[in-house]
Homo-oligomer: A and B are copies of this chain.
Amino acid sequence: MLPEVPVAQGVWPLPQKINQFAERYPLSPREFTFRYANNSLAQSGCSVLDTAFKRYLPLVFPGYSVGKENGRDPLAGHPSSRVNPFILVVRMRESDCDGYPDAESKEDYSLSVSKGGGLLAAGTVWGALRGLESFSQLVYQDDHNTFYINKTKIEDFPRFQYRGILLDTSRHFLPIQTILKTLDAMAYSKLNVFHWHIVDDPSFPYQSRSFPHLSNQGAFHPVLGKGPAQSAHPLLPWRPPDGTLGPVNPAVGSSYQFMTHLLKEIRDVFPDSYIHLGGDEVDFSCWKSNPEVRMFMSKMGFRSDYTKLQAFYMESLMNITAALNKTSIVWQEVFDYHEKPKALSVVEVWMGGCYLCEVRKVTRAGVRVILASPWYLDLPGPTHDWSRYYNVRPLAFTGSEQQKQLVIGGEVCVWGEYVDATNLAPMLWPRASAAAERLWSDEEQTCSASEAFPRLAQFRCRLLRRGVQAGPLSVGHCRHEYQEEPPARTVLRMAARQVDHALLSPQTALCVPRTSTQNRRKLPPSTASVWQSGDHRNQGRAVNDQPV
C-alpha cells in the first residue's frame, strides 16, 4: 500500500528497471529547465524535442502555464519556498529530428534523477519522448501543493514494438479534437500506433483527391444524411443482394486499376509504413448473386469456393501494396483462407475463443502477428474491468523462440457502433492503459493486477488532471478533485425548482463518520459495499467484482 505521504510516484506503464530512493527534491516551474547535453547529437532546433519540451512543462507542473506569471506560485506560503534550480539534460545518440517514426524505430531510454538535475539519454527522439513522459510521472505534489521528485534511476525499453489503438470513424463522426486528445492520452500510456479505421460500410469520410465522390456521396452529411434516425433505423428492410451492392467485384480489371490508383494516393498522403487492407468477415452472398463473378469463378477453377476468390483478390491488393513499398496488414481470415500464407506480411488476430491457437498457427507459418482479440474495449463491461485487459499473456502459447519474436505487439480496438465523442474517453481510459502496460512492461514484474491497482489509480488521476476523461476504477476521489462547493442545500433548492421534488437519503448517518474514514483507509471497495446499499450494484450478479 502507499505510505501516508507519497515518497515516490509510480510510473505507468512500469519501466523495465526502476530504482526509487527516499531522498527527494522540491521543484519549482520557475527554477526548472530542459537542456541539451553538450555531447548530444541533437541540439536546440531539433523540432520534435523542442516542441516536446514546451508540451511537457505544464504536464510536469500541472496548474502552471508558461508566461502565466500571475498564476499562483505552487510554493507560495510554504516554509521551504526557497527551491534550488533543476535542469533536465537530454543527450541524444542520434541526430535525426525531422523524420517520421516507422515500424523499426527504437524507443529505449535511460533516466537518472539526482540533486539539482537529471539526465535523459536516448538513441532516437522517439525514445526521448518516452523518457520525458516517465519523467513527468515522477513529479508529484504534497499536501501543501509543493512539487517533489525523488532520487530515481530508470532503464527502459518496450516489450513489444507495436502498441496500438484502433478508432472507427466510419460508424460515428469523431471530431478532430477528440482524435487528437486520444493521441495525447496514447502518448501518456506509451502507446505508439494509431490505427485509423477511417472508412467502412456505414460511411466513407476519407476525402480522396482522385475520387472525391467517395466522401461526397459516402460521408455523413446533414442533407444527404437526412437526420439521425434514418442512419440506423432498425425497422428498415434489408435488401437482399442483387449483384449491384456488396464487396469489391474481383472479376473485373477496373477494380484493380481503381484500387491501385487509390492506394497510390494513400501512400502519398500518409507517411506511415503500414496499410491495413482489412479482409475480415466478407459476405459472399453479393458475389454469389453476380453472374459476372460466377463466370470468373469457373474460369479460374475456383468452383464454388468463394474463399479462393477472396484469397485471389486480397493477394492482388497485397501485391499492389508491396509495389508501393508499404507493409500490408490483414485480418486473420485472410490467413485462414490463403493457400500460400507465408506470402503474408502481418496478420491481425481478432477473433474470440482460443486466440492464442491462431497466434501459434500464424507464427508457425513464419508470419508476423498483431494481437487484438483480448482488447475489444467497445464490448460491454464496466470501466473497472481493467484487470481483464491487464491479465493477458500474449506469448503464452507453445512455440519456438522465433515464433514468439513474430508477435510484434497488440492493439486495443474501439469499434464505433455505440461509441462517439460522448463516451469514447471513459470507455478507453484507463482500460487501454492496462493493455498498454501489458505491451510495454516486463510480464514477470507486472503479473499482479492488485499490485498494479494503486499505481493505475494514481495514473488515472493524472489523466484526469491532464484533461483526459478517464473513468473511475473504484470508490474514491483524486486529490485535485477537491474544491470548496456551496453547501448541499443550495443545490437541492435550485433542484426543486426545476424538477418537482427531491429526496434525501441519510440512511447511514450515524455509523458513517468513523466507518467512512475507516473505509477510505482500510477497506477494499467490495467489502465496504457489503455493509450498506453499496451492494445494490451487485443486484443480480457476483458480489466480488473488484479489480483483483
Q: Which of A38-46, A294-302, A398-406, A511-519 contacts B (4 or more CB under 8 A)?
A: A511-519
B266 touches A504 (CB 8 A): yes
Q: Mark A493-536, 1 if CB is under 8 A from B, else 0.
A: 11111111111111111111111111111111111111111111
Contact among B238, B244, B255 with A522 in the assembled complex (CB-CB below 8 Å) = B238
User: Which residues from chain B contact A461 at a C-beta distance below 8 Å?
Assistant: 227-228
A539 touches B228 (CB 8 A): no
User: Which residues from chain B contact A180 at a C-beta distance below 8 Å?
Assistant: 491, 494-495, 498
Known contacts being A482-B220, A494-B180, is A352 close to B540, with CB within 8 Å? yes
User: Which residues from chain B contact A245 at a C-beta distance below 8 Å?
Assistant: 511, 514-515, 518
The verdict on A225 contacting chain B, using a C-beta distance below 8 Å, is yes
User: Which residues from chain B contact A352 at a C-beta distance below 8 Å?
Assistant: 539-540
Complex interface residues of chain A between 191 and 205 (CB less than 8 A to chain B): 191-205
Contact among B193, B237, B262, B385 with A509 in the assembled complex (CB-CB below 8 Å) = B262
Known contacts being A199-B506, A505-B276, A512-B214, is A479 close to B228, with CB within 8 Å? yes
B187 touches A498 (CB 8 A): yes
Contact among B4, B281, B420, B520 with A231 in the assembled complex (CB-CB below 8 Å) = B520
Q: Kindly state the separation between the CA atoms of A480 and B233 in the bound complex, as whole angstroms.
A: 18
User: How close is A537's CB to chain B, nearest CB, in angstroms?
Assistant: 5
Complex interface residues of chain A between 369 and 412 (CB less than 8 A to chain B): 373, 376, 378-385
Q: Kindly state the separation between the CA atoms of A419 and B530 in the bound complex, as whole angstroms.
A: 18
Complex interface residues of chain A between 238 and 284 (CB less than 8 A to chain B): 238-239, 244-249, 255, 258-259, 262-263, 266, 269-283
The verdict on A451 contacting chain B, using a C-beta distance below 8 Å, is yes
A503 touches B275 (CB 8 A): yes
Residue of A100, A501, A547 ringed by the most chain B CB atoms within 10 A: A501
The verdict on A485 contacting chain B, using a C-beta distance below 8 Å, is yes
Q: Which of A73-81, A438-446, A463-471 contacts B (4 or more CB under 8 A)?
A: A463-471
The verdict on A206 contacting chain B, using a C-beta distance below 8 Å, is yes
B191 touches A281 (CB 8 A): no
Q: Kindly state the separation between the CA atoms of A511 and B514 in the bound complex, as whole angstroms.
A: 65
The verdict on A329 contacting chain B, using a C-beta distance below 8 Å, is yes
Known contacts being A234-B525, A236-B521, is A102 close to B513, with CB within 8 Å? no
B383 touches A381 (CB 8 A): no
Q: Kindly state the separation between the CA atoms of A520 and B183 in the bound complex, as whole angstroms.
A: 29
User: Which residues from chain B contact A214 at a C-beta distance below 8 Å?
Assistant: 509, 512-513
Nearest chain B residue, comparing its CB with the CB of A169: B488
Q: Which of A11-19, A29-37, A422-430 contacts B (4 or more CB under 8 A)?
A: A422-430
User: Which residues from chain B contact A70 at a C-beta distance below 8 Å?
Assistant: none
Nearest chain B residue, comparing its CB with the CB of A529: B417
The verdict on A103 contacting chain B, using a C-beta distance below 8 Å, is yes
B507 touches A281 (CB 8 A): no
B453 touches A193 (CB 8 A): no
User: Which residues from chain B contact A131 at a C-beta distance below 8 Å?
Assistant: none
Nearest chain B residue, comparing its CB with the CB of A456: B229
User: Which residues from chain B contact A48 at a C-beta distance below 8 Å?
Assistant: 497
Q: Kindly state the separation between the CA atoms of A246 and B531 in the bound complex, as whole angstroms.
A: 8
Q: Mark A199-228, 1 if CB is under 8 A from B, else 0.
A: 111111111000001100110111111111
Q: Kindly state the separation between the CA atoms of A472 and B539 in the bound complex, as whole angstroms.
A: 26
User: How close is A427's CB to chain B, nearest CB, in angstroms?
Assistant: 8
Q: Which of A113-121, A170-178, A336-344, A360-368 contacts B (4 or more CB under 8 A)?
A: A170-178
Known: A233-B454, A283-B531. 14 other contacts (CB 8 A): A172-B472, A198-B506, A201-B519, A217-B516, A225-B520, A235-B450, A237-B522, A259-B509, A270-B504, A278-B505, A278-B507, A419-B472, A422-B470, A422-B471
For this complex, 28 residue pairs linking A to B, each with C-beta atoms less than 8 Å apart, are A100-B501, A173-B482, A197-B505, A201-B519, A201-B528, A204-B509, A204-B513, A217-B517, A220-B482, A220-B520, A221-B482, A227-B479, A228-B461, A228-B476, A228-B477, A230-B454, A235-B450, A238-B522, A248-B510, A249-B510, A277-B506, A351-B539, A379-B540, A415-B533, A417-B529, A418-B471, A418-B474, A422-B464
